[in-house]
């Protein structure tokens, strides 16, 4: 069991931010990543559609023989996690609970959440935060332009700063001390968000927190792989060219072993 891979899926390239954190915290693990690039984005689609896509993506990874399923996509985590847990007999970790746990450490209990329209409309982050910190004041804003800006390589561009100023205005007014980056692409905006919100606001990277949850689960259940040198393989549902180009910018390393597959 320990030698099996960790399966990670996302709507496209963004989940590589989660893969990167898992690979750096658990370098011995083999990782298999599925980016549903033929059907990206999930963030603007209906709950029913995202649930169907998530089930199909998960099925592919379960058939591959993974020991754990990580739902790297915030939108899919928001609407499909209970379904996946019900359908499959293996541990399933999403990005929302880990991010909410970290956010609940807020000092002034005023917390901001940013994400896709699907994630924000689902209300899952505020629910998860309130379960841990009932009195918290949670303000949520969807930032749909961040995904294309990140994929264009403009996360630190002046346009990103102006866009962030506009989106974050209500969160600054709410005097948040913690901001949850509730979308796979948002860790790339760290410097821009710092510029706009200042250093006093804690940025919660759901990708980082999720990697810590995977590590904890493995320690509890004895699922860690002991051999050195884990490797990653990548599957996509559309031609790999764009995934490789944008993905290398996200990861900061070369992407080898990318194969196109059909799911569903």
Question: Counting beta carbons within 10 angstroms of the beta carbon of residue 91, is it exposed (0 to 12), middle (13 to 18) or buried (19 or more)?
Answer: middle
Distances (CA, A) of 241 to 101, 257, 260: 36, 12, 10
- Among 5, 30, 37, 75, contact with ligand DGL (rule: CB under 6 A): 75
Concerning whether 73 is annotated as a catalytic residue, the answer is yes
Q: Per rule CB under 6 A, is residue 183 in the interface with ligand DGL?
A: yes
Nearest to 71 by CA among 236, 259, 262, 206: 206
Instruction: Check binding of 147 to ligand DGL (CB under 6 A).
Output: yes
Show the beta-strand stretches assigned E in the chain.
6-10, 31-35, 68-71, 92-94, 110-115, 137-142, 178-182, 202-205, 232-236, 258-260
Contact map string, positions 88 to 117, toward ligand DGL, x by CB under 6 A: ----------------------------x-
Q: Is 143 tagged catalytic? A: no
Q: Which of 8, 23, 30, 42 binds ligand DGL (CB under 6 A)?
A: 42
Strand partners, 110: 137
Bridge partners of residue 235, in order along the sequence: 34, 259
Q: Is 74 in the site for ligand DGL (CB under 6 A)?
A: yes
Alpha carbon of residue 191 to chain centroid: 18
Contact 261, 236 (CB under 8 A): yes
The window from 10-18, 135-143, 210-218, 252-260 that contacts ligand DGL (CB under 6 A) reads: 10-18
Using CB under 6 A, which of 40, 61, 69, 214 touches ligand DGL? Answer: 40
- Least distance (Å) between residue 70 CB and ligand DGL: 12
**How many residues in the chain?**
264
Asked whether the beta carbons of 209 and 8 are under 8 A apart, the reply is: no
Asked if 41 touches ligand DGL (CB under 6 A), the answer is yes
**17 belongs to the binding site for ligand DGL (CB under 6 A):** no
The whole-angstrom separation of Cα 155 and Cα 132 is 32
Q: Choose, from 61, 81, 133, 183, the residue flagged as catalytic.
A: 183
Place of tokens 């298999």: 32
Among 7, 14, 98, 240, binds ligand DGL (CB under 6 A): 14
Catalytic residue among 19, 71, 73, 96: 73
Q: Which residue is nearest to ligand DGL (CB)?
A: 43
Nearer to ligand DGL, 182 or 240 (CB): 182
Say whether residue 122 binds ligand DGL (CB under 6 A).
no
Please list the active-site residues.
Answer: 73, 183
Q: Which residues bind ligand DGL (CB under 6 A)?
A: 10-12, 14, 40-43, 73-75, 116, 119, 147, 183-185
């Amino acid at each position: 069991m320990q030698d099996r891979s960790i399966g990670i899926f996302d709507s496209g390239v963004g989940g590589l931010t989660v893969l990167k954190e898992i690979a750096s915290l658990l370098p011995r693990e083999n990782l298999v990543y599925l980016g549903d690039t033929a059907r990206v984005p999930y963030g603007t689609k209906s709950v029913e559609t995202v649930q169907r896509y998530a089930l199909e993506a998960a099925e592919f990874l379960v058939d591959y023989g993974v020991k754990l399923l990580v739902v790297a996509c915030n939108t899919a985590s928001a609407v499909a996690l209970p379904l996946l847990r019900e359908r499959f007999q293996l541990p399933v970790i999403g990005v929302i609970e880990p991010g909410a746990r970290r956010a609940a450490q807020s000092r002034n209990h005023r917390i901001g959440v940013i994400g896709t329209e699907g994630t924000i409309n689902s209300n899952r982050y505020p629910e998860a935060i309130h379960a841990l910190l009932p009195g918290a004041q949670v303000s949520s804003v969807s930032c749909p332009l961040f995904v294309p800006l990140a994929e264009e390589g403009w996360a630190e561009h002046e346009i990103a700063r102006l866009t962030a100023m506009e989106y974050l205005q209500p969160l600054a007014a709410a005097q948040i001390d913690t901001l949850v980056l509730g979308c796979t692409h948002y860790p790339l905006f760290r410097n821009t968000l710092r510029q706009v919100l200042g250093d006093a606001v804690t940025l919660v990277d759901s990708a980082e927190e999720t990697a810590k949850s995977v590590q904890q689960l493995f320690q509890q259940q004895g699922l860690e792989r002991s051999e050195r040198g884990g490797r990653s393989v990548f599957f996509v549902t559309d031609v790999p060219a764009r995934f490789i180009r944008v993905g290398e910018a996200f990861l900061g390393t070369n992407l080898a072993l990318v194969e196109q597959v059909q799911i569903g």
